[in-house]
Chain A
Amino acid sequence: MICSLSLQLRGFLLCAMLIAAPAMAGVTQSVDEQTALVSWKMDDGNFELELTQLLPDQTRAFFLARGFSKEIANRIATACIMQTIGRNITEKSVQGAVDVDLKQWRMLHNGVEKAVKLKEQWDGEWHAGEVSDTARLAFRWATFPTQQDFAPGDFGWGMTSFALPPGRDFDLKVVWSVAGVEKEAWIRGIQCAEER
């Protein structure tokens, strides 16, 4: 009887701890068997973020096909571009909007902290006439939104630039908020894809 009560009590306490515990973001890393490209996935129960390496050749081909010159396509391709997918995985009934603002994210490389390179910064680097309107438009919509609100069930995707040469690695501080409460987590040891 005592043992039984004790088990029930332990079960209750464990359950209570799980309910009260703050959401901890878990990070997993995986390698695609076919492409050998590496992905990092972070999940805190509300927000799921996945970063996947893009080969410089993949990115180069994509932007050449959208009308960029070889020089600019190459500049983008060698700036550590990651396919990025963000998703609000909160249950619909909970009604927790996830807000993401890339301006808050920080990357750490060789002990130096810096910001992520935003689509607006890329756009500002291109001189008039250097990039066609069609190419600019494709770049704008193919890159991850600088700021986005995700309702439950929503997700966004796009390329994110970390402005490091191929093969380098860095840590990324991801910042997001759930129903107005700010959260952050570090993804360690992200590797920029090498040229193949």
Chain B
Amino acid sequence: MKRQVTIHWMLLLLSWSAFAYGEQSLTPYKGAQPAPDFELVDVDGDKHRLSDYRGKPLIINFWATWCPPCREEMPSMNRAWGKVKDDVSMLAINVGEDEDTIFVFSADYPIDFPVLLDQSGEVIRQWPVKGLPTTFVLDGEGNIRYTAVGAREWDDDALLEIVKSL
């Protein structure tokens, strides 16, 4: 029975990909508003404060391992990181899960940029997020400039040009 359920979930995840991506668009945020600051630890226990990332555009992705579109877009985020890491910072904020869960996930979906843990959900509550995944693009001054609700192909050159231009 358990194996059957697992297979059903896997099929559901596979069938998800047919619906996952639409137009490669970023939505301009309503005016440039300062992003809520936070301090979170990453999967290695190192502290990260949002304000430490000023000076470069920053992509912040809220996600969870059980969220099908989050899983779908994570490889493209990692490829994007490979393309722009000299010009852009990236953070993935996992909602509600622990290091072990992410460790298992990253065996199949390698993530080379910092993954922060919002285990209590305190940080996501302060951000304008309605569903997962939601991604924010911040300028070098820490203002939210664009949002993307739902998955995107993050290694798309046109999309990354918008981010780099901030």
Binding site for B on A (CB under 8 A): 32, 34-35, 37, 50, 52, 54-55, 57-58, 60-62, 65-66, 83, 85, 87, 89, 91-92, 133-134, 137-138, 140-142, 144-145, 147-158, 196
Contacts and interface: CB of A to CB of B under 8 A. Distances in A.
Interface string B122-158: 0010000011100000000000000111110000000
B9 interface: yes
Contacts of A144: 131
17 contacts: A58-B9, A61-B6, A66-B66, A83-B12, A91-B23, A92-B25, A138-B64, A142-B64, A142-B66, A142-B67, A148-B130, A149-B130, A152-B23, A155-B69, A155-B149, A157-B68, A157-B131
Contacts of B69: 155, 157
B131 A145 contact: yes
Interface in B72-98: 95-96
Nearest to A32: B15
Nearest to B120: A133
B51 interface: no
Given A156-B131, A157-B69, A57 B4 contact: yes
B96 A57 contact: no
Interface string B94-132: 011000000000000000000000011100100000111
Contacts of A148: 130-131, 149
A83 B68 CA distance: 11
A134 to B, nearest CB: 6
B5 A154 contact: no
A138 B131 contact: no
Given A32-B15, A156-B130, A92 B150 contact: no
Contacts of B12: 35, 37, 52, 54, 58, 83
B47 interface: no
B8 A58 contact: yes
Give chain A's interface secondary structure class.
mixed
A85 B64 contact: no
B149 A156 contact: yes
Interface residues of B, number: 35
Given A57-B1, A87-B150, A32 B130 contact: no
B11 A35 contact: yes
B31 interface: no
Contact of B5 (A58, A66, A156): A58
Which one of A37, A57, A145, A154 has the highest number of Cβ atoms from chain B below 10 Å of its Cβ? A154
B2 interface: yes
Given A32-B15, A35-B12, A158 B96 contact: no
From B6, B64, B96, B147, residue with most partner A Cβ within 10 Å: B96
Given A134-B119, A153-B24, A85 B19 contact: yes
Given A134-B119, A153-B25, A153-B27, A55 B8 contact: yes
Contact of B25 (A37, A54, A151): A151
Contacts of B149: 148, 150-151, 154-156
Given A54-B12, A148-B131, 11 more contacts: A57-B1, A87-B19, A91-B23, A141-B95, A151-B27, A152-B23, A152-B25, A154-B148, A155-B151, A157-B68, A196-B4
